Amino acid sequence: MRAKHEWRGFDPDRLTAAYTSFAKHPQTIGGQPYITSWNNKQARGYAGADTNLFSSVFRSQMLDSEIEARIAGARTITLAGLVEAMGEAATTDLRAEAVLPLALAVIGAPRDPALGAAVAKLREWIAAGSHRRDRDGDGRYEHAEAIRILDAFWPLWMRTQFEPSLGGELYGRLVDAHELDNAPNDDGSHVGSAYQTGWYGYAAKDLRRVLGRPVAAPYAKRYCGAGRRSRCRALLRDALARALATDPARLYADAACAKSGRPGDQACFDATAFRSTGGVTQPMIGWQNRPTYQLAVEVQGHRPRG
């Protein structure tokens, strides 16, 4: 088994290996005008790491959509416009932008007043861009209530969508192997980086089938309500009702925020913290989905490889 998984063509004495030729490297196609790199999904024909089981929804799509909106048609983008696109993507909730609209399409228009109000708030948040940000600096997110609803809803939604078909034991093992959500808080680490891994694409693909929409390479099994829209709707409405009853203090419990005098604070729960490397410390800042570093490269020409 060890030999099977060793680096092919590696010579430990000469430190050489059989490298993939440039011709076999992933290529841009169809005159693609830009390339983004933000922990993207792997290229076709390449596998992802075990810790990043990419699917049809992944983080860099948030940046791609912002760029594409700015170069649509005959439009061109400046460096300032590119920075603006990065800023917009950096505060977007990927779940709300790419997956929640599908769930709301299944949920429809509940007659229950509380559910109806929750659905309206979620739709209003999506229409405003699905951001987790505090633009007026009052310490509170715009659309804070909608954000709270989704934060409570997401784990309940994933369980109700997948566990009945998978069974409790298998569902639990899969969650242990691949987290449901890579949230801004990141289990209390406050590192800022979010949505690198999660069940976003799994949920989206299954709900597209429930809604009767086209799906490439559909799963062998239907999950939400065993593929029945009425049953899936009932399950998601029930999960949403339970989310509305979730205590915000418990939902946003965090040691760092409690220490800073902001227990149960939603914006603090997401906030990015800094590591102390000396005697001077830096307070937490408002959340942004930060990359390892930000770099813009303009390719002005092409030269053939020699």
Is 181 a member of any domain? yes
Is 292 a member of any domain? no
Mean pLDDT of 12-19: 85
Comparing 28 with 259, which gets the higher pLDDT?
Answer: 259
Comparing 4 with 88, which gets the higher pLDDT?
Answer: 88
Number of domains forming the structure of the chain: 1
pTM: 0.90
Range of the domain at 89: 60-270
Is 1 a member of any domain? no
CA angle 104, 55, 125 (to 5 degrees): 30
Q: At what angle do helices 168-177 and 144-166 cross, to 10 degrees?
A: 130
What was the pLDDT predicted at 297? 83
Is 263 a member of any domain? yes
Q: Which range among 12-16, 42-46, 79-83, 193-197 shows the weakest confidence by mean pLDDT?
A: 42-46
Average pLDDT of the chain to the nearest whole number = 91
What was the pLDDT predicted at 20? 82
Specify whether the CB–CB gap between 161 and 236 falls below 8 A: yes
Mean pLDDT of 94-112: 98
What was the pLDDT predicted at 1? 47
What was the pLDDT predicted at 106? 98
